[in-house]
Structure 1
Amino acid sequence: MSVTDAEITLAEFEALEQAAPDNLHVEFIGGRVHVTPARDGDHSEVARTVATQIISHRPDLWLYEERGLAVPSYRAGRARADGAVAPVGYFKGQPSWSDPSGVPLVVETTSGCEGDARVDRLDKRDAYAQAEIAVYLLIDRHKSETVVHWSPANGRYQHESRAAFGAELQLPEPFNFALDTTDLA
């Protein structure tokens, strides 16, 4: 669900987010408030699958689940990433909505209804590109595929590659390995 016809300030969003029940995620992306169900167990398994592979190739990094990131989309935005890959200790001392400049990769997994997936496919993709996060990995459970976007420039990712669940997906630098998506199905 998103609210598209109401003007809301960042302070109003933060009050709304604080008052939201634990079973809902509230985000502020592209000038709109998005409310989605909290992550299910399958999200956690996807995070484990991706984290294990990333850490085996890049032990200097960690996948931080449910990390709030301050993104510059439209007006000041707030996106809660399913997984933010960053150097170990990067988020120490940062507020709940953190600076994304040290995050080289963000992972999102679609959930809920098909309409909610649009937020991950488009709104978050664009917000992360505007924040200049080098790589955006989308696990699209509705389409049974993984999509990687990379090389942000002028608020858009310049490259994209897709793989059906079960196939390998080549991740670009700074990762440069083939992600095995077999366990994502």
Structure 2
Amino acid sequence: MTAISERPQMLPEQFEEFVRRLGRTVEGIRPEFINGKLGVKPVPDGDHGRIIQWLNRISIQARPELYVHDQGLKLQGYQGGFARPDGTLADADAFVGHGEWATTEQVLMVAEVTLFESDTDRRDRVEKPRAYAETGIPVYLLIDRDSAEVIVHSQPDGVRYETVQTLPFGRSVRLSDPVGITLDTEPLKNWVR
């Protein structure tokens, strides 16, 4: 995701109005607003999409009541904000009746898959873990295609995740409760450059 500036540019309410005016007419634009910064998330590539399909299939097989949603989230916490995780694990009906941005009460996990772009380090590895922990999302799964690792953040304390586990692709990783799913990450090796 490319941040437009390093300093806060608008209030969360202004971002909502910006997105409302932008509408769904601009192809390839997925705006986010994290830590007071407006950013634009690029449209993912095919391997990225396949990783989300893989995660969704495993989730449904392990926990049929859950689904990996493509849902924008309103973030609570220090500066608030709006994120578009690559995947949001929640009950299949968790976001029925919600608009473009939903609250996070029913979210069990968010997942991000790195994109091959310059802003990935700051956004996916620094800003998003902090924003998701401040919001109280129980698990943040980062599938890092740059390093061929999965990073599982868990036990948010309202400021940060207290537990961070990093494993190379090919290992099995247990996603802690309330997710309670084990991922065999061997297939991820097929979807990196």
Aligned CA-pair RMSD: 1.6
CA contact 1:114–1:142 (8 Å) conserved in 2: no
Match of 1:9 in 2: 11
User: What secondary structure, in the 3-state scheme, does the structure 1 residue paired with 2:124 have?
Assistant: helix
1:136 is aligned with what amino acid? Y
2:154 paired with 1:146: no
2:76 paired with 1:72: yes
2:16 paired with 1:45: no
CA contact 1:140–1:146 (8 Å) conserved in 2: yes
Q: How many residues align?
A: 184
| Partner Cα distance (1:64, 1:57) in 2 | 16
136-145 or 105-114, larger mean C-alpha shift: 105-114
Show CA shifts across 1:88-130 (max 9, x none): 1110001211011100111111113143242111111111111
Displacement of 1:146 after TM fit? 0.5
Match of 1:27 in 2: 32
| Partner Cα distance (2:39, 2:61) in 1 | 34
| Partner Cα distance (2:150, 2:53) in 1 | 15
User: What secondary structure, in the 3-state scheme, does the structure 2 residue paired with 1:147 have?
Assistant: strand
87-96 or 169-178, larger mean C-alpha shift: 169-178
Match of 1:56 in 2: 61
Match of 1:168 in 2: 172
Match of 1:92 in 2: 96
| Partner Cα distance (1:7, 1:102) in 2 | 29
Match of 2:126 in 1: 122
User: What secondary structure, in the 3-state scheme, does the structure 2 residue paired with 1:100 have?
Assistant: coil
| Partner Cα distance (2:152, 2:81) in 1 | 22
Displacement of 1:6 after TM fit? 4.5
Displacement of 1:43 after TM fit? 1.8
Show CA shifts across 1:27-66 (max 9, x none): 000111112211221221111111111111111111112x
- What is the TM-score normalised by the length of structure 1? 0.92
Unmatched tracts of structure 1, length 5 or more = none
CA shift in 2, pair 1:177/1:93, >3 Å:
closer
- What is the TM-score normalised by the length of structure 2? 0.88
1:29 is aligned with what amino acid? I
User: What secondary structure, in the 3-state scheme, does the structure 2 residue paired with 1:16 have?
Assistant: helix
Higher strand share: 1
Match of 1:36 in 2: 41
| Partner Cα distance (1:6, 1:177) in 2 | 37
User: What secondary structure, in the 3-state scheme, does the structure 1 residue paired with 2:50 have?
Assistant: helix
Displacement of 1:75 after TM fit? 2.3
CA contact 1:31–1:73 (8 Å) conserved in 2: no
Unmatched tracts of structure 2, length 5 or more = none
